[in-house]
Structure 1
Amino acid sequence: MKIIVSNSSNEPIYEQVVNQIKEMIIKGELKEGEALPSIRGLARDLSISVITTKRAYEELEKEGFIETVQGKGSFVALQNKELIKEKKLQIIEEKLSEIVKESRLLGISYDEIEEMLKILFEEE
């Protein structure tokens, strides 16, 4: 599991960990039932506090992304397929919102953006 923590980010370290693990789950890089590193192990690997890692895991558990089994560790929770789809759509909406803002700043029209999307979809 590859997580990158930036000390120069405005985002707290535990949130960086939470967001990257969520993204891996949503993208399917971490599968249902897959074991996560131990809190101590992840803290050591990332050179961060055990308390920070524990807070990240607690947040992920609260949001339903992982479940912790006493004495066995933390695992990717069984995911509601509709919830995953909704989260993916939310990510796309956020990225499109950024594109709309940038387009307005640069004076790019809706038709030009639509044409770019058509081209990109045809390339993939």
Structure 2
Amino acid sequence: MNIQLNQKSDKPIYEQLKSEIIRLIMCKELREGESLLSMRALAKDLGISVITTKRAYKELEDLGYINSVPGKGTFVAKGNQTMIREQSLRRLELKIKESIELSRQLSIERSEYADIVEFLWEE
């Protein structure tokens, strides 16, 4: 797995790990039914705590991206990729809505908001 973590980021490592695995699933680098590294092996490879990988895997399982099978391992969830994408789009829409509400509270104009989004998109 090609997972990139940024130790200097404000985003917690478990959130970064979760986001990276979702990215790999959505771009089909990780396919349905594919086995993931064990929590211990992934923690060792990334140089992070097993507790961190456990939290990321738990949240991914709760969101329906992965399934854990006792004694066999952790796998990319089989099922409807369209449903997973829709869930992800709903989460994105909620976050955008929150940012728009904050922008309105700060009296940021629509064009300025668009400029901010464009700038951040290019980062």
What's the TM-score once normalised by structure 1's chain length?
0.70
Whether the aligned pair in 2 keeps the contact of 1:67 and 1:77 (CA below 8 Å) is yes
Q: 2:50 maps to what in 1?
A: 50
Deviations 1:66-118 (A, max 9, x none): 001111110001132331342565588689x9xxx9x823998xxxxxxxxxx
Q: What amino acid is aligned across from residue 84 of structure 2 in structure 1?
A: I
Q: 2:14 maps to what in 1?
A: 14
Q: Share of identical aligned residues, percent?
A: 49
- Distance apart, 1:60 and its partner CA: 0.6
Q: What amino acid is aligned across from residue 57 of structure 1 in structure 2?
A: Y
Q: 1:105 maps to what in 2?
A: 112
Q: 1:13/1:105 Cα in 2 relative to 1: closer, same or farther (>3 Å)?
A: same
Whether the aligned pair in 2 keeps the contact of 1:26 and 1:88 (CA below 8 Å) is no
Deviations 1:9-57 (A, max 9, x none): 1111000000110111111111010000111100001000011011111
Q: 1:47/1:87 Cα in 2 relative to 1: closer, same or farther (>3 Å)?
A: same
Please, which runs of 5 or more residues in structure 2 have no aligned partner? 100-107, 116-123
Partners of 1:107 and 1:51 lie apart in 2 by 38
- Distance apart, 1:6 and its partner CA: 1.0
Partners of 2:68 and 2:39 lie apart in 1 by 11
Deviation beyond 3 Å, 4+ runs, structure 1: 87-95
Query: Over aligned residues, Cα RMSD in angstroms?
Result: 2.9
Partners of 2:7 and 2:20 lie apart in 1 by 15
Q: 2:38 maps to what in 1?
A: 38
Please, which runs of 5 or more residues in structure 1 have no aligned partner? 109-124
Q: What amino acid is aligned across from residue 72 of structure 2 in structure 1?
A: K
2:14 is paired with a residue of what secondary structure?
helix
Q: 1:13/1:85 Cα in 2 relative to 1: closer, same or farther (>3 Å)?
A: closer
Q: For this pair of structures, how many residues does the alignment match?
A: 106
Q: 1:85/1:64 Cα in 2 relative to 1: closer, same or farther (>3 Å)?
A: closer
